[in-house]
Amino acid sequence: MLQCATSLLQFEYPAMVDLAKQVMTLDAAVLVLSMGSVEKILNLATATRRKRKEITWAWGLLLLSIVLGIASLVFAHDAVAASFRNVDHSFRWLAAEISMISSMLSFVFALILLLVTAVDTLFAQSTN
Residue 128: its pLDDT value, please?
67
The mean-pLDDT minimum among 23-32, 35-44, 105-114 falls in 35-44
Q: Of all residues in the chain, what percent carry a pLDDT higher than 70?
A: 91
Instruction: List Cα–Cα distances, 16 to 25, 62, 94, 113, in angstroms.
Output: 14, 19, 12, 26
Instruction: List Cα–Cα distances, 1 to 23, 26, 92, in angstroms.
Output: 31, 36, 15
**Cα gap 107→77, rounded to integer Å:** 22
Residue 9: its pLDDT value, please?
63
For all residues of the chain together, what is the average pLDDT?
86
**Cα gap 94→113, rounded to integer Å:** 28
